[in-house]
Amino acid sequence: MNVTYDEYGRPFIILREQANKRRVKGLEAQKLHILAAKSIAAIMKSSLGPRGMDKCLIGPDGDVTLTNDGATILNEMHVEDQIAKLLVQLSKSQDSEIGDGTTGVVVLAGALLEQAEQLLDRGIHPSRVAKGYEMAAEVAVQTLHKISEKIEFSRENIKPLEDIVSTSLGSKIVNRVQRDMASIAVRAVLAVADLERKDVNLDLIKLTGKVGGKLEDTRLIDGIVLEKDFSHPQMPTEVKDAKLVVLTAPFEPPKLKTKHDVNLSTVDQFNELGRIEQDYFLDMIDKVKKSGANLVICQWGFDDEANHLLLANDLPAVRWVGGVEIELIAIATGARIVPRFSEITPEKLGKAGSVKEVTFGTTKDRMIVISECANSKAVTIFVRGGNKMIIEEAKRSIHDALCVARTLIRDNSVVYGGGSAEIACSLAVEQSADQVSTVEQFAVRAFAAALDAIPLALSENSGLPAISTLSTIKALQQKENNPRLGVDCMSKGTNDMKAQGVFESLISKQQQILLATQVVKMILKIDDVLKQGSF
C-alpha cells in the first residue's frame, strides 16, 4: 500500500493488490452471501427467549445501549455487508408490521440459509430450493391456522390480553414487573382503540420517561404529560377545571417582513413605541380572557414583557410546546388549534379536570400533567427508572407490548410459545414432504429442519441439552397429538405452554415465517453483486 498526493495536495491510497482482486459470482458468491447472513443470525441467536442474553452496543460517540430487542440491536450495529443488510431490513419489517418477534425472524432466516447451503453443495439449483421453501411455508402457515385458538376479551375483561402481552415482556429487562407493565400496555391500547373497527392508532399513546424512582412507579395517565413548566415561577402550579386555548400563533407583536428601519429620536417616541407594544399584548390577553380560557398552551415562546402581563392578568401559560404534543393535547381535551388571536372563540377551547405542575425528587425536574381530559383518546405512559439505560430499554419493551396488544385487537387468534408452534409446523412440513415427488422434496425437508432452530436456540439459552430436549418434545407432540408442548425455559416442571400461560399472536408467528422465507428466496437468487456504474 502506497500513499501519494494529487495536484491539490490531498492524500489517496494505492493498493498494490488491486490487480489481484476479482469479482466473485455464481455459487461461490451465493455461499459468501449465506455466510454473511449466517453471521448476523449467530449474533442474534443468543438473545432469543426469556433466558436470552442482552447485548451491550457502544456507539461512535461512546453512548451505550443495553438491549435484547432484535430490531434495536441490528439497527445499532452499522452492518456494512450488503447482503447482511437484508436481514437488518427483515427485522425492521417485522418491527414495523408487528412490533414483536424481531429476533426470531432473523434466527429463522439464518437457519433457512444454513440448510440451503447444504442443498447447494449437493448440486440442487437455488431456484429449486426457493420453490421448495415456498411450498413448505404454505404448509407451515396452514398448520398455524389449524393449531391456533381464539381468545375472548372485552374492555371489562382484559385478563386474556394481559396474559399474552405478559409473554412478550418475559425476556425484557422489565420482566420482574411484567404483569404490571402488561396491564399498563393493554389499558393504554384499549383507551385509544376502536373495537368495532378493530383499529388502534398508537400515535395517540405518548411514551415518555424520567430518571428517578423505580420501574414499579411507571404509571398510565389518562391525558398528556409535558416536559415543560409554567412560563413564570409565580404562576399557580395547578389549574382546576381548566379551559385551555391551544395557540400556534406567537404571543408577541408581529415582526415586519421588510428591510425598513424605525429611527427614534426622542424619549417620548420610545415611550410611545413601548406603550403600543404593551397595548398589543393586552389586546391579545383580553381576547383570550373574553373567550373564557384560564390557561394558554402556546407553540411559540414569548418575552419577559408578555410573561409579566400574563402573570398580572392571572392567566397561566405554557410555552414552547411541540407540534406533536399540541396535537395530542387538542385530541385529549377536545380543543381546536387556533392559528390567530382573532379566531379565538369559546367553542374552540379544550377542557381538562386538572392541569398540574409536578416536581420529581431532588432533581427539581418539573413536568406538567394534563389529566381528567374531556376526551380520553390520548394517554401517556410515564416510565420511571434508576438510570437512562433502564428507562430507554423499558420504553422499547413497552412499545413491543403495545404492538402485541394492537395485533390481538386486529386478530384475536393465538398460538402457544416456547417453540411449540415451530415444532408443530416442523412435523407437519416433514410429513408433507412425502407428497412431493420432485427435487423440491429436499428443500421442504430442509425447511422443516430449519424450523427446529427456534426451539434449539431456546433450549441452549435456557441451559438445557438442546438436541435431547427437542427430540423429546417432538416425540411427545407426535405421541399425544398435542401442539401445545414446547421448551420449558423457566423450569416450571411442565412442557404444556397452555398450563404455563405462554402465548404468541398468530399474525406475528405467520409474519415471521413468511418474511423469513421471502428474504431467503431473495438471497438465494443473488449470484452477483455489481456496483452501479461499474460497466
Residue 472 designated active-site: no
| Mean pLDDT calculated for residue range 290-308 | 86
CA-CA-CA-CA torsion for 527, 529, 534, 535, nearest 10 degrees? Answer: 20
Average of per-residue pLDDT across 466-494: 88
Q: For residue 159, how far is the Cα from the chain centroid?
A: 23
In terms of Cβ atoms closer than 10 Å to its own Cβ (0-12, 13-18, 19+), residue 252 is: middle
Q: Give me the mean pLDDT over the 134-149 stretch.
A: 92
**pLDDT tens string 427-458:** 999 999 988 888 999 999 999 999 999 999 99
The pLDDT of residue 138 is 93
Cα–Cα separations (whole angstroms), residue 499 to 12, 170, 430, 485 = 65, 16, 27, 10
Helix, strand, or coil here: 364? coil
Question: Higher confidence at residue 269 or residue 428?
Answer: 428
Percent of the chain with pLDDT over 90: 15
Q: What's the CA gap between 161 and 6, in Å, rounded?
A: 66
pLDDT reported for residue 156: 85
Q: What local confidence, expressed as pLDDT, does residue 2 receive?
A: 62
Confidence band, pLDDT 50/70/90 cuts, at residue 142: very high
**Per-residue model confidence as pLDDT tens digits over 84-94:** 888 888 888 88
Distance CA 419, CA 495 (A): 10
Residue type, 416: Y
Most confident of 255-269, 319-333, 518-532: 319-333
Annotation marks residue 203 as catalytic: no
Residue 525 to residue 528: CA distance in whole angstroms: 9
**Which of 14-18, 26-30, 33-37, 77-81 shows the highest mean pLDDT?**
33-37
Q: Is the pLDDT of residue 18 over 60?
A: no
The pLDDT of residue 13 is 66
Q: Out of 65, 67, 72, 102, which one is annotated catalytic?
A: 102
Q: Residue 535: which pLDDT band, with cuts at 50, 70 and 90? A: very low
**Number of neighbouring beta carbons within 10 Å of residue 529:** 14
pLDDT per residue over 373-422, tens digit each? 877 678 889 898 888 888 888 888 888 889 888 888 888 888 988 889 99
Q: What is the mean pLDDT of the chain?
A: 85
Is it the case that residue 22 has pLDDT exceeding 80? no
Residue 348 has pLDDT above 70, yes or no: yes
Percent of the chain with pLDDT over 70: 93
Q: How confident is residue 60, by pLDDT bands cut at 50, 70 and 90?
A: confident
DSSP, residue by residue, 221-238: ESEEEES---SSTTS-SE
- Cell 432452530 locates to 453
Pairwise pLDDT comparison (255 vs 49), residue with the higher score: 49
In the block, residue with C-alpha cell 401559560: 317
What's the pTM value of the predicted model, to 2 decimals? Answer: 0.81
CB 69 within 8 A of CB 400: yes
> Is residue 400 annotated as part of the catalytic site, yes or no?
yes
The mean pLDDT value for 198-210 works out to 85
pLDDT at 447: 93
The predicted pLDDT at position 134 comes to 92
Catalytic residue among 69, 222, 229, 488: 69
Q: What are phi and psi of 297, to 5 degrees?
A: -110, 115
pLDDT of residue 527: 77
pLDDT of residue 139: 93
**How far apart, in whole angstroms, are the C-alpha atoms of residue 507 and residue 486?**
19
Q: Phi/psi at 339 (nearest 5 deg)? A: -90, -15
The CA-atom distances, in angstroms, between 153 and each of 130, 195, 273, 369 are 40, 11, 66, 31
Residue 123 cell numbers, joined: 448440486
> What pLDDT sits at residue 17?
58
Catalytic residue from among 100, 163, 222, 400: 400
Q: Which residues lie across from 131 on neighbouring strands?
A: none
194 is catalytic: no
